[in-house]
Amino acid sequence: MMALRTAATGMAAQQLNVEVISNNIANMNTVGYKKQRAEFADLLYLDVERPGSQSSDTGTIVPTGVQIGAGVKAGSVYRIDTQGSPTATGNNLDVAIDGQGYFQILLPSGETAYSRAGNFSMNAQGQLVTQDGYQVIPQIAIPQGSTNITISQSGQVQVTAAGAKAPTVVGTIQLATFLNPAGLEANGNNLFTETSASGAPTVGVPGVQGVGTLMQGYTESSNVDPVTEISALIVAQRAYEMNSKVITSADQMLSTTSQMKT
């Protein structure tokens, strides 16, 4: 009874689908989060009679054949990199990216990670860091006693030193872009790392050659749409129930067969 195994693969696929959807819903309020979608592919087929095979010595051809599917499998879980809406925070160290690009973050291991979360802070040395204390690349240090911190759309960071009238530039925030951002590996804590699928990063100044611009005092919201996610969750639940019903029906058929008397 192939239906038992086939329906079981369907239940496993919908379980994965629900897990992806639940992660999206859980991260509705995560800064810079990008929603994910599960894709599926059918499994190999049992060829009882191959289409196009000869059905007689006179050369007649079978028009459709008999192929029985073995179920479904997970094809991929891909990331949708649509823009999240900007949210005003009132913090002059918060920065949102309007367009393409990722902030560059220096990990404790020395590796460079990438993030869309621009909810930055300042550490004891005056360096611009993430919520986990990881430095932003290139390193930007705010002199002690500085006031009126300004981050332009092109990433230029200006501060007014104590006793000075004119602001001075202390650094420029640069963004990294990828040919295939969906190929980045998610590491948690709003961080991604480069893979062979994403390709090497191209670092540029915000607002130049397709790189997004910056918005000071804002963070990028998650791009999760609650209505869409709830609708997808209901569809996945119904599909799971239907596959479960197939298993019950197949089991009843097997039970009927085993009770037959010769």
Residues 214 and 91 in one domain: yes
Assess whether the previous peptide bond of 138 is cis (omega < 30° from 0): yes
**pLDDT, mean of residues 136-145:** 88
Report the Cα 117 to chain-centroid distance in Å: 13
pTM of the model: 0.83
Give residue 119's pLDDT.
93
Amino acid sitting at position 14: Q
Residues 215 and 233 in one domain: no
pLDDT digits (tens, 9 = 90+) for 77-98: 999 989 999 999 989 999 999 9
Residues 90 and 212 in one domain: yes
Give residue 58's pLDDT.
78
Give residue 42's pLDDT.
87
Residues 46 and 91 in one domain: no
Contact 99, 213 (CB under 8 A): yes
Residues 91 and 63 in one domain: no
Give residue 261's pLDDT.
62
pLDDT digits (tens, 9 = 90+) for 199-248: 999 999 999 988 999 999 999 999 999 999 999 999 999 999 999 999 99
Residues 148 and 207 in one domain: yes
Domain that holds residue 203: 86-219
Residues 24 and 96 in one domain: no
Residues 37 and 110 in one domain: no
Residues 164 and 49 in one domain: no
Residues 57 and 93 in one domain: no
Residues 9 and 120 in one domain: no
Q: Is the predicted pLDDT of residue 48 greater than 80, yes or no? A: no
Q: How many domains does the chain have?
A: 2
Residues 132 and 244 in one domain: no
Task: Return phi, psi of residue 160, to 5°.
Answer: -110, 115
pLDDT digits (tens, 9 = 90+) for 61-77: 878 778 788 889 988 99
Contact 84, 223 (CB under 8 A): yes
